[in-house]
Structure 1
Amino acid sequence: MPLEPWTGPAILLVDLDAFFASVEQLDHPGWRGKPVIVGGDADKHGVVSTASYEARCFGVHSAMPASTARRLCPDGIWTHGHFDRYNEMSRAIMDIVRNETPYVQQVSIDEAFADVTPTAVNREHPAIVARRIQQCVEELGVTCSVGVGSSKTIAKIASDIDKPRGLTVVYPGRERSFLAPLPVRTLSGIGAAAEAKLKARGMTTLGDIADADEAQLVRLFGKNGHVMYVRANGGDDAPVVTDDLVKSVSNETTFAIDLVCRDEVEAAMATMAAKVGRRLRRKGLKGRTLGLKVRFDDLSFRSVQRRLDHPSDDELAYTPLLYRMIDEVWRPGIPVRLLGVSMTGFDTEENVQESLFALADEVPNADDVAPVVKDEEKRRGLIKATDLVKDRFGESAVRFGRELRGEGNTTGSASKNPADYR
C-alpha cells in the first residue's frame, strides 16, 4: 500500500526482541521454539534478565525474581548468558542503524533511537528506513520491533505496541489520538506512586492527562507535571543525542549470599574498583569523585562519595579510600545485598548527580589515604602490566588475591547497560 507523505521530524526506536534469549536460541538451534530464560540463579537472589516469548507465555518477564520464574516455568531452559556474544551482536546491529543515519543514540545494549527526518537531499520515507533496518537485523538471525514517530516519546511507545517483529508508524498530527487510550503507566517516568496519584484524581489514560489542567499536574508533580502534560498531548522536543559524553563509570554487584564480614566487603569493593579503573583507562578518562553505594537485605540503601585531590583512573590509589568510606554507611554484621562503586567528574563543570548512583549532595575532599602501592611509578607499571595481560588473555587472566575472595558469590543476573560490556 502507498505510504502517506511524511512532514517534520522522524524518530525511530529500534528495540531488539527478547535480545539475550534470541541470541541464545540463534546459537543453540535445539532451544528454538522453547522457553529460554537468561538470568541469575533462583536460590541466589537472581533475577530474570530476558525471557524468550515462549517463556513469556508462562508469565515470565524481565526483572522478575528467578525463584518466581522457576515456579511459573519449571521446564524452562536457563542460562546465565554469554555477554561477550551479546555485545558482539549489539555492535553489529548498531552498525546497521548507523549505516542509515549518523544521528543514533544507543540507550541500552538492545535499544537505540535514530533520527531519520527526511531532508532536501534524502526524502526517503521513515517507514521504509525502519523496514530496511528490520530486514537487515533479521539477516543476522534475531529480530527487532521499531516504532516510528515525530518524537522520542512517540517512537518509544510505538515500538512496544506490536512485538515481536512489529513496525508501528504514528504519523505527524495523530500523536494525541494514538496516545489517548493508553494507560498512564505507558508514559516513561510514570511509576506506581505517580499512577496512584493520577488514579485518585480520576486519570487512568494518557488522554485523561492530556485533558487535565496543567497547573494541577504541576502542583502534584512539580516540573515533571509539565513534562507529563506536554508528552501526553503528543509533544516532546528531546533531541537524539549523538555524542558519547560519559557522565559516570560504575560497577555494581548483587550477591547470592549477603555479605556480613569486613574482609568480604573489602574484597568485593576491591573487585569493583578494579573494573571501574580498567573501564576508565579504556575510555581515556580520569575522575574526581569516587562513589560507594550499599544496598542492605531489607532493600534499603545508603551511599557516600568523596572528591579526590587529583583526577584518577588508578584503583590501587583509590581503593583504600573506599575502605574508609564504607565505615560511614555500614558496620560489620549488617547483611549487605549489593555494593556499587562509581567514578564521576570528568570535566571542569562536574555534575555529580549525573552518576548512575543516587548519591548524597555533600562531596567533601578525600582524606589522606595511602595507596595500595605507595610508589606511583611502580603502581602505574603494575597496572599497565595487568592491563596488557587482560587485553591479550581476558579479564579473568590476572587478578589480585582479594578479588578472588568473593568469586562465585553473584546472582548471575545481567545488566543491559552497554557500558557493562565494554
Structure 2
Amino acid sequence: MEHKRYIVHIDLDSFFVSVERKFDPSLIGKPVLIGGSADRGVVASCSYEARKFGIHSAMPMRTAMRLCPHAIIVRGSHGKYSEASAQVTKIIADTVPAFQKTSVDEFYIDLTGMDRFYDCYQFATDLRHKIIRETGLPISFGMSSNKTVSKMATNEAKPNGQLFVQHGREKEFMAPLPINKIPMLGEKTCQKLYQYGIEKIRDLQRADLRFLQTVFGQAGRAIWEKANGIDYGDIVPQSDRKSISTENTFGNDVADHKTLESVLVSMTEELAFKLRKENMLASCLAIKVRYANFETHTLQEKIALTSADHILIPGIKNLLKRAWNRHRPVRLIGVRLSQLCQGNYQINLFEDNEEKIRLYRALDKINFRYGDKTVCRAAGMEIGTRNFNPFMK
C-alpha cells in the first residue's frame, strides 16, 4: 500500500526585513525596503507595511520610493542573512528525516511515512514554534500531499501562519484563487489565459486538457496538472554534485594580471550558467593557482547562496588578488563553486538592478536555445585572441 505523502513547505516571512528588525527593533511596524541604491537599485525584500503601498520585490527602488516616500531603505548585509539561514537550516536538519533547501529562506520537508508514529501536522507545528523560539524570526508553513499545493498553502497562511490542505481537498483549496497564485505560472502564460476568460484556478480546472495542449504545447499538461493539484515532484535532499569546477593549464606560464582575470571571468561565467541551467545555487567560492614549480595554492570563501555572475565574478577577482603572488608566473588556474543546493536564481540580491535582471534573463534564454557560451561578457571574450581555451579539462 502506498503511503499518503506529507510535504511541508516552510518560508521565513520577509526574511531580510525580519533579520534586520532583530538587530534594530525600531524598524518594527514601519515600511522597510531592503535593497540597492535609491536611483538604480531594486527592492530585494520589503515589509508587509510597505506592501500595502503596492511595493513588491524586484521593483525599481525609485518606483517604490514614489509609492511610499516615508519608507526606510536598508542596504542589508549578506553575512547576517547567511548566518540566520544557517541557524534555521541546522534546526530543520536536526529534526526532520529529509528536506530540500531551495533558497536562503525557503525549504521543503518530506514527512511521508511519519504518520505511522506522529501527527504530521502537529510535528510541523512544533518545528515551526521551535524555529520561532530559537531564532526570533517569523515563519509560515503549508502542508499537503505535494510541493505545489504546500507552497500555495504557505502563501495563503502568511504572515506568520500555517495551513494544512488535507488529502483530497487540493482542488477545492485552489479553486477560488487567481491563476497567478500557481507557482511557476509566468506572467505571459497568465496573460494568454486571461484572453480566454480564465482568471480563477477553478476556470483552469474546468478547461479541456486538449485545449491547453493546443495553446501551450507540451507545457499544457503541466499547467493542467498544477491547476488540479497534481504534482509528483520529489524532495531532493541535496545535490549529488557537491561542486562544479573548471581549470586551465597555460601553454606558456602567465604573469599578466589582465590575462589571468579574463580567464577567470570566462570560467566563472561558464560555471554560473551551468548552475542556473541545473537550478542550482552555490554557497562557497574557491580559486586554485599553480605556479611554474608546481607549488599550488587554493583559497576559498563562503558566500550567500547564489548563481549570479555579478556576485561570483567580483568574488573570484578578489580571491585572485589574495591568492596570487604577483611576481610569480602561473602555470594553471582554476575555479570551483561548491556547497551546492537546489534552487532558482533569485532577484533578491542587493547588487541587482533592473538592467542586470533583464540581461540575465536574455542571456540565459539565448544560451539555453543555442548552446552554452553563445553570448558572454567581453571580458571573457578577450582570451579568445590569445589562442588558449579556458575550458580545457
Establish whether TM, by shorter chain, passes 0.5: yes
> C-alpha separation between the residues in 1 aligned to 2:114 and 2:153?
23
Matched, 1:110 2:105: yes
How many angstroms does 1:399 deviate by? 6.0
> C-alpha separation between the residues in 2 aligned to 1:111 and 1:138?
15
CA gap of 1:178–1:345, structure 2 versus 1, over 3 A, is closer
What letter is aligned with 1:14?
I
> C-alpha separation between the residues in 2 aligned to 1:190 and 1:344?
24
> C-alpha separation between the residues in 2 aligned to 1:309 and 1:397?
21
For normalisation by structure 1, the TM-score amounts to 0.63
Matched, 1:320 2:315: no
CA gap of 1:137–1:119, structure 2 versus 1, over 3 A, is closer
Q: Which residue of 2 aligns with 1:35?
A: 31
> C-alpha separation between the residues in 2 aligned to 1:151 and 1:399?
44
The structure 2 residue matched to 1:155, chosen from 145, 150, 157, is 150
C-alpha deviations, 1:96-130, integer Å up to 9, x for none? 2223313101111010000112437x531221122
- 2:114 touches 2:120 (CA, 8 Å); kept in 1? no
C-alpha deviations, 1:181-240, integer Å up to 9, x for none? 111111122212111221222211212222111111112212211111112111111001
How many angstroms does 1:70 deviate by? 1.5
Matched, 1:23 2:15: no
How many angstroms does 1:57 deviate by? 2.5
- 1:287 touches 1:345 (CA, 8 Å); kept in 2? no
What letter is aligned with 2:262?
P
Q: Which residue of 2 aligns with 1:354?
A: 278
> C-alpha separation between the residues in 2 aligned to 1:191 and 1:130?
30
Q: Which residue of 2 aligns with 1:377?
A: 294
C-alpha deviations, 1:63-116, integer Å up to 9, x for none? 111111112222222111121111111111122222331310111101000011
Q: Which residue of 1 aligns with 2:271?
A: 343
The structure 2 residue matched to 1:125, chosen from 119, 129, 148, is 119
- 1:287 touches 1:344 (CA, 8 Å); kept in 2? no
Determine helix, strand or coil for the equivalent of 2:107: strand
CA gap of 1:232–1:412, structure 2 versus 1, over 3 A, is closer
For normalisation by structure 2, the TM-score amounts to 0.67
- Percent same amino acid at aligned positions? 31
- 2:152 touches 2:182 (CA, 8 Å); kept in 1? yes
Gapped regions of structure 1 (runs ≥ 5): 1-6, 247-282, 289-307, 327-339, 358-370, 402-410, 416-422
> C-alpha separation between the residues in 2 aligned to 1:15 and 1:125?
21
CA gap of 1:127–1:376, structure 2 versus 1, over 3 A, is farther
Matched, 1:235 2:225: no
> C-alpha separation between the residues in 2 aligned to 1:309 and 1:216?
55
- 2:34 touches 2:75 (CA, 8 Å); kept in 1? yes
The 5-angstrom pairing of residues 151-300 of structure 1 reads: 151-246=146-241, 285-287=244-246
How many angstroms does 1:284 deviate by? 5.4
> C-alpha separation between the residues in 2 aligned to 1:352 and 1:17?
25
Q: CA RMSD in A?
A: 3.6
- 1:317 touches 1:372 (CA, 8 Å); kept in 2? no
C-alpha deviations, 1:36-56, integer Å up to 9, x for none? 21100111x201111112222
- 2:142 touches 2:157 (CA, 8 Å); kept in 1? no
Determine helix, strand or coil for the equivalent of 2:190: helix
CA gap of 1:145–1:355, structure 2 versus 1, over 3 A, is closer
> C-alpha separation between the residues in 1 aligned to 2:130 and 2:119?
17
- 2:140 touches 2:160 (CA, 8 Å); kept in 1? yes
Q: Which residue of 2 aligns with 1:255?
A: none
What letter is aligned with 2:12?
L
Q: Which residue of 2 aligns with 1:265?
A: none
What letter is aligned with 2:176?
P
Gapped regions of structure 2 (runs ≥ 5): 251-256, 282-287, 303-314, 323-348, 354-393
What letter is aligned with 1:377?
F
> C-alpha separation between the residues in 2 aligned to 1:377 and 1:112?
43
> C-alpha separation between the residues in 2 aligned to 1:80 and 1:160?
26
How many angstroms does 1:9 deviate by? 0.4
- 1:13 touches 1:159 (CA, 8 Å); kept in 2? yes
- 2:97 touches 2:111 (CA, 8 Å); kept in 1? no
Q: Which residue of 2 aligns with 1:141?
A: 136
> C-alpha separation between the residues in 1 aligned to 2:246 and 2:320?
23
CA gap of 1:104–1:318, structure 2 versus 1, over 3 A, is farther
> C-alpha separation between the residues in 2 aligned to 1:170 and 1:99?
25
Q: Which residue of 1 aligns with 2:378?
A: none
Q: Which residue of 1 aligns with 2:376?
A: none
Q: Which residue of 1 aligns with 2:10?
A: 14
> C-alpha separation between the residues in 2 aligned to 1:400 and 1:54?
43
> C-alpha separation between the residues in 1 aligned to 2:276 and 2:166?
39
CA gap of 1:185–1:355, structure 2 versus 1, over 3 A, is closer
Pairs aligned (count): 300
Determine helix, strand or coil for the equivalent of 1:42: coil
- 2:41 touches 2:350 (CA, 8 Å); kept in 1? yes
CA gap of 1:115–1:284, structure 2 versus 1, over 3 A, is closer
How many angstroms does 1:316 deviate by? 9.2
